[in-house]
Chain A
């Protein structure tokens, strides 16, 4: 009896002892699924992929692609009408990049700097600058100098003025280009853009610096010119041939496909904008066959239009663009009679038929020779960055050639095009308009960049809100995501107080002086009606 009691008491005691060994208990809490550290190279691969997929998409998710009006929405035109671009709809261009790839790029840069490996931190700084360029050009003032400092307890980073962000971008690109000169290739194959080649990254750094320098030209021509000059003379040179283009080559393996082709697999609500078709037609541009396809049905017969549907007998008139931001009822009937985007962007089989192939693996360009050459052309035409007007036509023609070669246009057609009036740069503002329109065409796969250029140059002047758009002016920026009001309210409020109301109409720093653009036209971006 007694012994049994003791036995049970002993058992209770044992259980109690087990309960006391509780520090050991916490060893169970080692996460077996995820490591506490990861190789730097793997962070870079992931970041490069995400960064390109996010800012070179524009047709899925946020559908910011319609802002540049290369494309128009044919069935559910809410994005084209700017309705689905409000509030949190743009969070994917703000919140997610900071917490995903920008944070990882910050780690890569920090580790590279700590190890004094320019081959590591150089590409990280350049890619981060590339991405910050898109973010600030989309929203204006955003956190920059205080971002990624949660470790130091900064949970409400201040918003930097866009001017300061640009200065930061210039400084980082300057450092990257310089240091990469003596760098060894540390990223190697884990760099999906250049295979880690420092010389190529140098070119990208200088070219990107030129892009941002020119962006400032309406508000701070002196800085623009100085930065252009620094970029043009930066160590390692510029991207001037397509072989040096900064591209993300999509594996096209079904997991990582080109984001456009991904969208087109199941959605058929994008058409080429009539703005784009008209510019292509205006100069009888052979790129029309690559960027667009003939519609399913003869619009002449259906709509009584003057244009003709002619899939076999090629003329540019075979292509029919869609007006931007029509009403639902206006746009829907135009599905069969307007041009889809070119077949090279299609994945092959789609849910609604086969409209071309190869799009899954089609590369997305982060920066191309054509863009750089157009920057040089404009700088030259305006006498900026140490270039002179006499050099402008050369750059202009080289830029068009680079763009056409990028899309595989046969050399003879390019030569013929360059021989036409569009192929020669006119003097003065007419020439600047030519450059702006050609550059806008060349940025077809880079809709955010093209939208920024439209805002800066006011060209093509036909880019304006469609009849059913929710804004009467082409959006000048997008709204901060609503999360920021909840989590970083004071900093956001400071930015809004400084920059202007948080709506689609407020002009960001480099857009404050639009009339300074020589290509400015009265009522620029306003809806005509």
Chain B
């Protein structure tokens, strides 16, 4: 075989059908050169090759490449340089044995209609031959600015992807691709890193309680990512199987490459300042109390309303009133008492990587550190990650690569979420006269101001803890230790046939330790009669995949290229959780099981799932412009019934580059036109252990007696897999020689046989029943339009607009089921539902009673509440979009990204509670002059049809509004100035002093401005990445960050 190489190439050339006439020469030809971009900067990692000979190299950091063509190959050949994000460039050379120098300048592809892209299974392919929609983000686009979660860094950049940033710092980021598919299951996409599916495990908070510990995908360091590709639906992702129904995000990490004996070092550092982007508008005219009265005695009801937590008290006119700070204090507003609680957070982030290699071996080691000082007091996050990847070309046939990544992610004293736990909660139940600075010294104790001795110094001893005490004395910490590792060996049988075996695991342990000091008022965590409590939980997750794939790639006819792939995958998932919880400990401050005064509740859960799969694909490309591809997959899942656990699903897609097929259609305007279409089906299995109704044990003994109870879910022993069927057609076109381009897709996807539990009448003895029914549809249109309005010698302006309109509709639920409850509001005034004929996530709640003419009915001056709940809107936006502008002038660049969402609704409990409690500016309605005059004149009619003329006072008015959802449902529309980046590449001489090839500085900003309809809150929020979204309470706005970053490239 060693001797037969030339013959091999000859054979390959014949088969590829494009072998130029090459005669035999006596010595090897060296081809070398440099690849630069339009700005003259080196392009690293570009592939330069003579594809006909299957020979080539990658450029190094200086953009240089060199390879040699074996002796015996002479004659004309085409050398092509390619790099993701650029249009390929080719040059004709003549191989003669004499060294050839050939440089290339690559032009940035505005929307990358052409070029090599990463597709399913991490395979790089010509985008022009893809029949499905996908969008790829390059490393540069990804790291424009710094957010706490990788996924947030692509916000606004990908059409059809709705990303909702977390409420609390370090919290969950929700991501939906083309809407929600499944009624009750997971709607988050699958993440795959270098071929290994990785977990996006979420431990979120809720509307009423809890802590949001974020989702696990945030572990990945964006600086290690080479490409971030979104396969937008089942069509692009069918080959990933069960979990592809929600789309797939394929991530490849940076690798080492040949470096001519040098070590390549890259350093990126950034410092970012964060503050909540907005805070509610509070009123500053009335202080704590009710009916205009207040007097502090002990903060627990001993005085007039001193245990109250609303602000309908006396006017803040400077009169002297006994307050928590002392007798006869001036009664004045503290307008910044909420704002002052928040600090300026700091994020310091650095990644150092070294890489290098030879022709046969390469390696890259990267170490990244994030240090975040949160914007609530005493809140910190730390992340350290190390990635080592290496590749070894063992011999001509065998290539091996391996990557191991270790991440340690640590959060300290995160703020709580929801009605009973949010750090903002007490500012909505608050006295506007409270001097927040006086609360900082909480250690002086409650005895100082007449409160309970056992409590911290505070302004109220009935319902709230001092927020500084909460953050200072209750240790909430979470640690995730994670390994993501994979190894792959590829054996090249011939130049058209190879097989690769890949095995990879994602393993993490996630510890959450919550320690609550005595006096912590949330009864979920601490029993008031004891000395504190704790909750320890420990998650262990291990997913292992082993995959064998055989690839075939050869031309059948001179003009017909054929590629095929067949493979099998074995997936093993193991998850376990253990928890120890007690609401009472004996000795304060010792958070150990041995110190539990109340017998701890022990929790234990184990989940296993095994899935075996066989899959394959075949594609034919005619003349390079017409491609037809088919895929097929069969899965066998452990979670489906014995004998019926196999399910098969196919897909087919085609693409035609019309401008190549009919070159005549190209003209001055149209430069490129491609049509594509695809049909796909993806099956999904169920969660483990759904086939049988079981008894659940209660971990607590009742006075020593064991307790069991029959489960509330009626199981379905004959479950069938869930099926998502999707069709899409798309057009890709570029105009004016690439100055403008459009990539648009229309899709229609339906998920049926959904596996979910439907509520059944509890009178059956079960609350829910597992079923295989229902259908949900998402159809929509998404487009990416890119234009380069100005392209001068020194100045370029590129503008990209992405738009996605998704129409989600619940088509059908189970027979006899008209509503699925996705979750309830706080006080029973609303619920989030799935209802046939309406979009998923319908807000249903109590509204105003109206007469036949639609006028609101009023009784005694108050609006009358409707007797039944009604539909008040859907949380699903009608469309989302992003608009990115990039301006470059010489070595200066400016990026401005707007992100927008329109047409969805949200339910705001911040507004409900903040009006009821009288702290928000809006609650001044009816007490503009004094607390009891002139009153609110509600616009409505009395029962007899006469207009309402009765004025009611503000406090009574807002109290009467309690129980209504309608006044607090708002448009969730927003436009955000999501990112600004001003970049500056320092002149080469400065870089040279550091022995680097480039040195760049950037000023960055995130979430700098918002235009919105809803008052007082950020319309974008999440507590978890679950399906209960769009209902807000006390979520701090997403951070506004301003930062400075430095990047040194070798």
Contacts and interface: CB of A to CB of B under 8 A. Distances in A.
B111 interface: no
A348 B463 CA distance: 17
Contacts of B291: 329-330, 332-333
A78 B828 CA distance: 12
A333 B762 CA distance: 42
B762 A96 contact: yes
Contact of A78 (B528, B955, B962): B962
Interface stretch (A24-32, A405-413, A520-528): A24-32
Contacts of B640: 26
A67 interface: no
B512 to A, nearest CB: 20
Contacts of B708: 35, 38-39, 42-43, 46
Contacts of A484: 761, 763
Given A15-B570, A329-B955, A35 B695 contact: yes
Given A38-B697, A327-B959, A99 B765 contact: yes
Contacts of B1: 1
A266 B523 contact: yes
B705 A488 contact: no
A129 to B, nearest CB: 16
A29 B690 CA distance: 9
Contacts of A265: 523, 527-529
A353 B300 contact: yes
Interface in A51-72: none
Contacts of B583: 254
Given A33-B606, A98-B762, A335-B301, A351 B705 contact: no
A73 B613 CA distance: 61
A347 B759 contact: no
B694 A19 contact: no
A487 B694 contact: no
A87 interface: yes
A78 B455 CA distance: 29
Contacts of A268: 300-301, 307, 462
Contacts of A38: 695, 697, 708-710
A114 interface: no
Interface stretch (A145-153, A305-313, A386-394): A145-153
A98 B614 contact: no
B570 A18 contact: yes
Contacts of B816: 155-156, 487
A336 interface: yes
A42 B707 contact: yes
Given A1-B1, A23-B642, A103-B710, A352 B301 contact: yes
Interface in A359-396: 360
A49 B707 contact: yes
B645 A104 contact: no
Contacts of B828: 84, 86-89
A353 B641 CA distance: 57
Interface in B840-876: 846, 865, 867-869
A8 interface: yes
A98 B962 contact: no
Contacts of A83: 962-963
Contacts of A43: 708-710
A103 B766 contact: yes
The CB with the most chain A CB atoms within 10 A, among B608, B710, B818, is that of B710
Contacts of A142: 763
Interface string B449-485: 0001011000001110000000000000000000000
B692 interface: yes
A330 B312 CA distance: 12
A16 interface: yes
Given A253-B599, A268-B307, A347 B528 contact: yes
B767 interface: yes
Interface string B405-428: 000000000000000000000000
Given A11-B548, A16-B568, A351-B528, A332 B763 contact: no
B902 to A, nearest CB: 30
Contact of B956 (A8, A19, A87, A327): A327
B761 A156 contact: yes
A11 B614 CA distance: 13
A271 to B, nearest CB: 10
A424 interface: no
A500 interface: no
Interface stretch (B15-23, B123-131, B631-639): B631-639
Contacts of A88: 824, 828, 831
A397 to B, nearest CB: 35
Contacts of B642: 23, 26
Interface in A468-494: 470, 482-484, 486-489, 491
A192 B308 contact: no
Contacts of B827: 78, 84
A336 B570 contact: no
Given A147-B765, A347-B528, A25 B712 contact: no
A512 interface: no
Given A33-B605, A88-B828, A5 B696 contact: no
B426 to A, nearest CB: 13
A100 interface: yes
Given A1-B1, A333-B291, A348 B761 contact: no
A36 B692 contact: yes
A225 B300 CA distance: 52
A454 interface: no
Contacts of A101: 709
A255 B700 contact: yes
B301 A336 contact: yes
Interface in A229-284: 249, 251, 253-257, 262, 265-266, 268
A4 B519 CA distance: 71
B818 A489 contact: yes
Given A15-B568, A254-B527, A268-B307, A25 B612 contact: yes
Interface in B495-539: 499, 501, 519, 521, 523, 527-530
Contact of A25 (B606, B636, B760): B636
B638 A328 contact: no
A12 B763 contact: no
Interface string B797-821: 0000000000000000000111101
Nearest to A26: B642
Given A22-B646, A107-B710, A347-B528, A42 B705 contact: yes
Given A94-B762, A98-B763, A192 B703 contact: yes
Given A46-B707, A192-B705, A155 B695 contact: no
Contact of A49 (B530, B568, B702, B955): B702
Given A15-B614, A192-B705, A332-B308, 17 more contacts: A4-B491, A8-B493, A12-B566, A16-B614, A33-B605, A34-B694, A38-B710, A42-B708, A43-B709, A46-B707, A84-B827, A88-B828, A96-B767, A150-B765, A192-B702, A335-B307, A360-B529
Interface of B: 1, 289-291, 293, 297-298, 300-305, 307-308, 312, 452, 454-455, 461-463, 491, 493, 499, 501, 519, 521, 523, 527-530, 548, 550, 566, 568, 570, 582-584, 597-599, 601, 604-606, 608-610, 612-614, 634, 636-643, 645-646, 688-689, 691-692, 694-698, 700, 702-703, 705-712, 714, 758-767, 769, 816-819, 821, 824, 827-828, 831, 846, 865, 867-869, 953, 955-956, 959, 962-963
Interface of A: 1, 4-5, 8, 11-12, 15-16, 18-19, 22-23, 25-29, 31-39, 42-43, 45-47, 49, 75, 78, 83-84, 86-89, 94-96, 98-104, 106-107, 142-143, 146-150, 154-157, 189-190, 192, 249, 251, 253-257, 262, 265-266, 268, 296-297, 327-330, 332-333, 335-336, 347-353, 360, 470, 482-484, 486-489, 491, 503
